[in-house]
Amino acid sequence: MGTFCSVIKFENLQELKRLCHWGPIIALGVIAVCSTVAMIDSVLWYWPLHTTGGSVNFIMLINWTVMILYNYFNAMFVGPGFVPLRWKPEISQDTMYLQYCKVCQAYKAPRSHHCRKCNRCVMKMDHHCPWINNCCGYQNHASFTLFLLLAPLGCIHAAFIFVMTMYTQLYNRLSFGWNTVKIDMSAARRDPLPVVPFGLAAFATTLFALGLALGTTIAVGMLFFIQMKIILRNKTSIESWIEEKAKDRIQYYQLDEVFVFPYDMGSRWRNFKQVFTWSGVPEGDGLEWPVREGCHPYSLTIEQLKQKADKRVRSVRYKVIEDYSGACCPLNKGIKTFFTSPCTEEPRIRLQKGEFILATRGLRYWLYGDKILDDSFIEGLLVE
């Protein structure tokens, strides 16, 4: 008992609060439904365990579930890694290249950004993910990406079980007449009969689980390809946006310079190894990063300072011409606006006709920016 108590400390138990959020509740609910129904289908109705194929199938289902949950909880509870409070670089002159965080009372290390949800500066921050109720960053990027890979693979296996279960059970209940085809859900022509009959409730549950599995495969699979794309370029989602703004700034002012992303090692394999290692611990310490030849160690943070100084100049001021309630997915703004709502917990700003906003960046139907109110700004997400 003493050893157990020494491992689980008070601050670790505090992390359990992350489960009390709509993101983990939905994610774990989908995992639980798909895994449970797949195991029940494979044991009772599709491949009985007394066959070799049934045993292999059942072991694979358990394996998918364990690996998915392991990487999911790793991403959630290990966390991204935070810049130490009151941190500053060893060489005092380097502070001129770094931004200062008043909340953490520390300088922002290269590739780090302050997360308003976590209320800390996150090392190599990619984004704050509502599904794990934590940031994706330096320490948990590999676990998060593996979760995005394993979840679709497990769902594909589960979907196969669901389809074959419904097919075999409906086939056993089909009766053909001259002009009709009837399905009798009350009994199955199978020997031996299953302990639990496959009735309408089981069919509806399996069909519902199939929909969840297919939806998860598509949605999470797309996120996996997005993450792998930036990992192979040794970038984060935030850094991709910084690079885009850098090129836009150079083009806007017609400057005689070329922005080179400093952390791309020039090899996809070398970029890959910075995130995925055999030990499970990413390379480096999360505070200092190797840069490609010819780049300044703080070239990205210098670019951020330039963009910050240029923010008010390059921001676009708009006048609101239609009221917006601040809803996450507004139904009255069109189908495209509804379905392209960003999957983020950024606050949506309620707007009234005649007010002014300052847009700093935007998507096709949404804008990120500030609401101008009495010479002050309210940061958030706006509908376009």
Element (H, E) at 241: helix 237-253
Instruction: Give the span between the Cα atoms of 175 and 183, in whole angstroms.
Output: 6
Instruction: Give the span between the Cα atoms of 73 and 128, in whole angstroms.
Output: 15
**What does the chain come to in residues?**
384
Instruction: Give the span between the Cα atoms of 303 and 81, in whole angstroms.
Output: 24
DSSP lists the bridge partners of residue 183 as 174
**The two three-digit tokens of residue 374, written as one number:** 């009495």
User: Which position has the token pair 């330096």?
Assistant: 138
164 close to 46: Cβ distance less than 8 angstroms = yes
Instruction: Give the span between the Cα atoms of 85 and 107, in whole angstroms.
Output: 9
Dmax (CA) for the chain in angstroms is 90
Instruction: Give the span between the Cα atoms of 69 and 38, in whole angstroms.
Output: 16
Instruction: Give the span between the Cα atoms of 362 and 316, in whole angstroms.
Output: 10
DSSP string, 62-124: HHHHHHHHHHHHIIIII-S-BPPTT---SSGGGGGGS-EETTTTEEPPTT-EEETTTTEEETT
232 burial class (0-12, 13-18, 19+ CB within 10 angstroms)? middle
Among 104, 121, 129, 136, the one annotated catalytic = 129
Instruction: Give the span between the Cα atoms of 314 and 188, in whole angstroms.
Output: 70
**The two three-digit tokens of residue 338, written as one number:** 């509804």
User: Which position has the token pair 């670089």?
Assistant: 89
CA distances to 289, 351, 372 from 320, in Å: 43, 7, 11
Helices (H) and strands (E) in the chain, counts: 10, 12
295 is a catalytic site residue:
no
Point out the residues that are catalytic: 129
